[in-house]
């Protein structure tokens, strides 16, 4: 075989360098394609959560669930897990996307957010328990007010239950942080501890822990990468913060007073469009409240409105005689039924999110280690 000449050597060198450049271009194109697919997936899934404009839907159409209702919150968590699964696919198919500068700096921040999200999941599961106690009070009032004929004794029972119900619904408002609500919320469950934890964040939280401060800490350094480019880590971090913020707004948690009204989501990026619309709508609901606190769950808000009407009836029962509140009693009973059917499923979804986040954190650490 003839020896390699200098000309041949320089030609092979140029060919090798060209192949490297082509390979880099192919990898970059693949990254861009995966990022575009991920953004599209997030945009489409969150668009499913937007209220559908249908003033008079046909009677045979499926029930539409209002924003912040129990069923809507369950769907929100399904959307989150779908986005997280897609994020995992991007992560495993091309780990270099998160390991090279400047994205490598976002990884520790995301891992820290996950730990905070685990605490929030724990708080929300216990917050749902406090909603269940409120539901029991509503059921007592409904049973008492359904008695026929209605007696003074039945009305007094209803009044006591309604008084406790309204006090629980407004605990944060009345005590500047909610000692009444906190006593329930501090009975933290142990589902997080049984999961094996995540290097912190599972199990109990301290008495000084605050859901609102936790959300503030999660958003503190949530800024888009330079140049306005999206990255899988930034998108997933934003999605996680938005979902946790929504849960804290909807469910009474330990010290949710002072919750942020606006989230730093990039309106100009297509993946965030629907998420921004949803967060703005929830922000408007928060502004209607005297204080920014948890408990915006749609069923809880309706329960408060009905509770006030039934309390007014109970207080004036002897004077007003048989004022008709049957419609309000029926509606309150219907809300209790929805809570009975939906709250356990909501807790189960939050637990699933908790365990998914524990797993996701382990996977990110594994990818960065390698």
First to last CA, the chain: 42
Mean pLDDT for the chain?
82
**Per-residue model confidence (pLDDT) at position 226:** 74
Asked if 279 and 245 count as a contact pair (C-beta separation under 8 A), the reply is yes
Q: What are 264's two structure tokens? A: 């730093």
Query: Which distant-in-sequence residues (6+ apart) come within 8 Å of 294 by Cβ?
Result: 127, 172, 211, 248, 249, 250, 251, 252, 253, 256, 259
**DSSP-derived secondary structure for 110-177:** HHHHHHHHHHHHHHHHHHHHHHHHHHHHHHHHHHHHT-SS--HHHHHHHHHHHHHHHHHHTHHHHHTS
C-alpha 347/C-alpha 239 separation (Å) is 20
**Per-residue model confidence (pLDDT) at position 54:** 59
Low-confidence ranges of the chain (pLDDT < 70): 1-26, 53-63, 97-100, 102-103, 172-205, 227-229, 290-293, 318-323
- Give the model confidence (pLDDT) of 261-275 as tens digits: 889 999 889 999 999
C-alpha 57/C-alpha 62 separation (Å) is 9
The HSE-up count of residue 157 (CA atoms within 13 Å, CB side) is 15
Report how far apart, in Å, the C-alpha atoms of 218 and of each of 22, 205, 223 are.
39, 17, 11
Asked if 172 and 163 count as a contact pair (C-beta separation under 8 A), the reply is no
Closest CA to 358 of 235, 196, 231, 209: 196
- Give the model confidence (pLDDT) of 229-259 as tens digits: 678 899 999 999 999 999 999 999 988 888 9
Three-class secondary structure of residue 259 per DSSP: coil
Closest CA to 116 of 221, 235, 268, 270: 221
- Give the model confidence (pLDDT) of 104-156 as tens digits: 778 899 999 999 999 999 999 999 999 999 999 999 999 999 998 888 999 99
């Amino acid at each position: 075989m003839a020896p390699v000449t200098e000309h041949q050597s320089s030609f092979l060198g140029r060919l090798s360098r060209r192949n490297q450049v082509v390979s880099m271009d192919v990898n970059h194109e693949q990254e861009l394609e995966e990022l575009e697919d991920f953004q599209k997936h997030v945009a489409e899934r969150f668009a499913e959560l937007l209220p559908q404009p249908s003033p008079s839907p046909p009677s045979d159409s499926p029930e539409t669930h209002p924003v912040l209702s129990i069923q809507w919150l369950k769907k929100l968590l399904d959307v989150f897990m779908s986005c997280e699964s897609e994020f995992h696919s991007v992560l495993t198919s091309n780990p270099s996307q998160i390991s090279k500068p400047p994205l490598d700096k976002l990884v520790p921040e995301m891992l820290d957010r996950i730990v905070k999200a685990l605490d929030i999941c724990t708080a929300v599961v216990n917050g749902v328990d406090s909603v269940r106690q409120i539901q029991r009070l509503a059921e007592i009032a409904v049973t008492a007010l359904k008695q026929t004929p209605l007696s003074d004794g039945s009305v007094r029972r209803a009044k006591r239950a309604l008084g406790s119900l309204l006090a629980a619904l407004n605990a944060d408002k009345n005590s500047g942080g909610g000692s009444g609500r906190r006593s329930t919320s501090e009975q933290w469950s142990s589902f997080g501890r049984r999961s094996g934890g995540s290097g912190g964040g599972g199990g109990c939280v301290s008495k000084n822990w605050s859901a609102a401060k936790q959300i503030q800490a999660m958003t503190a350094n949530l800024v888009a990468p330079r140049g306005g480019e999206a990255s899988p880590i930034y998108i997933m971090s934003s999605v996680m913060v938005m979902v946790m913020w929504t849960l804290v707004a909807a469910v009474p948690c330990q010290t949710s007073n002072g919750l942020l009204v606006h989230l730093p989501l990039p309106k100009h990026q297509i993946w965030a469009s629907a998420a921004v619309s949803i967060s703005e709508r929830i922000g408007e609901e928060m502004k209607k409240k005297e204080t920014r606190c948890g408990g915006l769950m749609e069923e809880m808000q309706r329960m408060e409105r009905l509770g006030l009407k039934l309390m007014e009836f109970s207080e004036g029962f002897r004077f007003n005689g048989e004022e008709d509140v049957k419609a309000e009693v029926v509606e309150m009973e219907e809300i209790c039924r929805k809570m009975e059917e939906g709250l356990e499923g909501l807790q189960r979804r939050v637990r699933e999110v908790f365990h998914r986040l524990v797993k996701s954190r382990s996977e990110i650490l594994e990818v960065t280690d390698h």
